[in-house]
Amino acid sequence: MIETGSEVASLVREAALVTGRASGIGRAIVEHFLDDMDVKRMKRLWSNRVGRAVSAPAQASRLIIPLAIAALIASACSSTTKPSSTTASTSSSTTTTASSQRTPRGAPSPGVTATTVNVGQVDDLTLPISGLFKGAQDGTQAYFDYVNSLGGVNGRKIKLDAQDSAYSNGVVANNTAAQIKNDFALVGGFSLDDAAEEPLIASAKMPDVAYPLDPELSNLPASYSPVPNNDNDFSTTIFKVLKKKFPQIIKHVGILWANATPSTVLAEKAFERGMKSQGFKIVYDAGFTPSQTTFLANVLTMKARGVQLFFAQALPDAYAATVAKEMQQQNFHPINVEADAYSANLIKEGGAAVNGMYIEIGYLLYLGADGHLPAVKLFTKWMKKADPSANFELQALFGWAAAQLFVEGLRNAGSPPTRASLEAALNKITSFSASGLITTSDPAHNVPGSCVILAQVQNGNVVRVSPTPKSGFFCLPGSLLPAPGFKPEIRPAPRS
């Protein structure tokens, strides 16, 4: 059994050397690529994952991550010793390797042909809950369908290679490695296990345009998000709003948060840091797991402790509906504020129990209240085309916004585009709102937006409530709370 990050790094090195020998590659060349990739990332990934009881199958699946990296390295080394017969006219079959991504600007990149650009993503589609984040696939595909209907980008149609994570680190690593090899970029993926992508993406310097949950992934130089990770630069706007709206109850706060991955733990710490900065006092704080089906014990404890203001973090619609119904059953009625439950299923599953629930979001109310706005109309139209039975969940919006950010970069990446030219174009996008669908952020510098919409479920509808304006977002300048030592990201010069 592998116990430490050092052992993982050693396994990566040994596996790469063995693979290199089998491919006729000299040790010195392999060592060069091992030194070039940051093996320390493997140590961090492993240290993030230990500390829990891990089954033998799970241990086995995690071995796939270093082995996949080893194979990628060996492939890269091989490409430096063997001339390629691939030409620009057959660039769709170009092998993605660490060295191929260091080719001069203008050379063909994997996934690009004269008529298409192929991009990949990995989503939680079947596990831990069937269809959990299918919305990410639907939203990404919907925007690409819209762009393709207009002729594509610079004469090329965009094709999406969406793969299932199976809620397995090993599957995520295998799928990501294959997409690095075959696709131009990663766009719109959403997985609780995206930390398994990070060492591969870092090693390959693969452009990734998505909403990453893992902080290490979100901070990579080639990672761009329409909704930048706010763990290091947290918006306190919603706490200022609620403090003014409910000043008498901010000292009696209960929190439920997703204790699913190390990244969700870090997100919760940032959330609590922002809350405490505004004088809130937490009297109940508990994590939940994706396999949890009842929250009755949490509800009973919160009621006993006198919780008057309840927050949930990363609590999807079905879970939020269950919490609300169990609160109702126990005649427990705190102010309920959800951040991730906005979807078509919330009211359907929660019924009367979710009436009065507050929802704080950084995007338009695309399910009805803002349905008349052009950006929402376009999103809705193409989502229904992509999947007539689509659940308009938050991840669908993230997928759509990520696809739009990618397309904005691709349009300015030249023809044929390269990964380097795509990054150069994305590095110039300092203001992005997906045509007004989301609060404005700065993807180039990885700075999140700080504006919000406060909404409430009222008689089966989700509507805007004070202080949210009738359109747009409520903003409070100076509401970002940087973590100690945090500075906005400065992107490195594009690879030459």
Nearest to 109 by CA among 180, 160, 209, 197: 180
Number of domains in the chain: 2
Distance CA 72, CA 76 (A): 6
pLDDT given for residue 107 in this prediction:
55
The answer to whether residue 150 is domain-embedded is no
pLDDT given for residue 231 in this prediction:
79
- Judge whether 261 and 193 are in contact, CB under 8 Å: yes
pLDDT given for residue 44 in this prediction:
37
Distance CA 359, CA 379 (A): 21
The answer to whether residue 389 is domain-embedded is no
Among 20, 49, 83, the domain-final residue is: 83
Distance CA 299, CA 141 (A): 39
Beta bridge mates, 461: 458
CATH code at 299?
3.40.50.2300
Among 83, 116, 139, the domain-final residue is: 83
Distance CA 402, CA 396 (A): 10
pLDDT given for residue 494 in this prediction:
44
The answer to whether residue 311 is domain-embedded is yes
- What does pTM read for this prediction? 0.75
The answer to whether residue 345 is domain-embedded is yes
The answer to whether residue 22 is domain-embedded is yes
The whole domain housing 15 covers: 1-83
Among 83, 106, 132, the domain-final residue is: 83
The answer to whether residue 54 is domain-embedded is yes
Distances 97 to 70, 71, 251, 296 between C-alpha atoms, Å: 12, 10, 54, 50
Burial class (CB in 10 A: 0-12, 13-18, 19+), 466: exposed
The edge-to-edge listing of strands for the beta sheet with 309-313 is: 282-288, 253-258, 309-313, 335-338, 358-361, 453-458, 461-464
3-class DSSP assignment, residue 465: coil
Distances 260 to 94, 193, 239, 290, 478 between C-alpha atoms, Å: 37, 9, 24, 6, 31
The answer to whether residue 15 is domain-embedded is yes
pLDDT tens per residue across all 496 residues of the chain: 443 444 444 444 444 443 444 333 343 333 443 444 443 333 333 333 333 333 333 333 333 444 444 444 444 444 333 333 333 332 332 233 333 334 344 457 999 999 999 999 999 999 988 998 999 999 999 999 999 999 999 999 999 999 999 999 999 999 999 999 999 999 999 998 999 999 999 999 999 999 998 888 988 999 999 999 877 889 999 999 999 999 999 999 999 998 877 778 888 999 999 999 999 999 999 999 888 999 999 999 999 999 999 999 888 889 999 999 999 999 999 999 998 899 878 999 999 999 999 999 999 999 989 999 999 999 999 999 999 988 788 899 999 999 999 999 999 999 999 999 999 999 999 999 999 999 999 999 999 999 999 999 999 999 999 999 999 999 999 999 998 888 777 776 445 4
Query: What are the φ/ψ torsions at residue 56 (nearest 5 degrees)?
Result: -60, -45
pLDDT given for residue 402 in this prediction:
98
pLDDT given for residue 29 in this prediction:
37
The answer to whether residue 405 is domain-embedded is no
